Amino acid sequence: MGGGKPADSETAALICRLEETLVLPELRKSATQVAALLADEFAEIGSSGRIYDRDQIIRQLQQESGEEAPGTVSDFTARELSDGLILVIYRIVESHTVRSSIWKKTNSDWRMIFHQGTKFV
């Protein structure tokens, strides 16, 4: 699934942990913590089809109630599109969504530059 070669296991595990962190309600409420994981050029296509930029997503996440249970990540795959650019695809069990993200290595940190969520039945 997806292009490129499989990401090395250490990088895949790190990015999986970052994705799991982003579904935690307590992190999602923190603009500072979310901003640290999203690149300045971040864009998201929501399950509604609407396109969001970094600032819109940060504001939207802060408005969540914080009572949502964290989502369970399953079927996680990570593929290296090029040096320092990783595509991940996975499911969130509770919301019945397939998610895809692109992560870019900047200096020594990984930052998400793109995300899309799609409902499945």
Q: Taking a C-beta distance cutoff of 8 angstroms, is the pair 69, 94 a contact? A: yes
Q: Residue 11: which domain range?
A: 5-119
Strands 85-92 and 73-82: antiparallel
pLDDT in tens, 19-41: 999 988 888 889 999 999 999 99
Asked if 119 and 96 count as a contact pair (C-beta separation under 8 A), the reply is yes
Q: Give the count of domains, the chain.
A: 1
At residue 95, what are phi and psi to the nearest 5 degrees? -95, 0
Q: Where residue 58 falls among pLDDT bands split at 50, 70, 90?
A: very high
Whether the per-residue pLDDT at 1 is higher than 60: the answer is no
Quick one: average pLDDT of 107-111? 92
Q: What CATH number is given to the structural domain containing 32?
A: 3.10.450.50
- Predicted structure pTM score: 0.91
Whether 44 shows a pLDDT value over 60: the answer reads yes
At 59-101, the pLDDT tens digits run 999 888 766 667 889 999 999 999 999 999 999 988 888 999 9
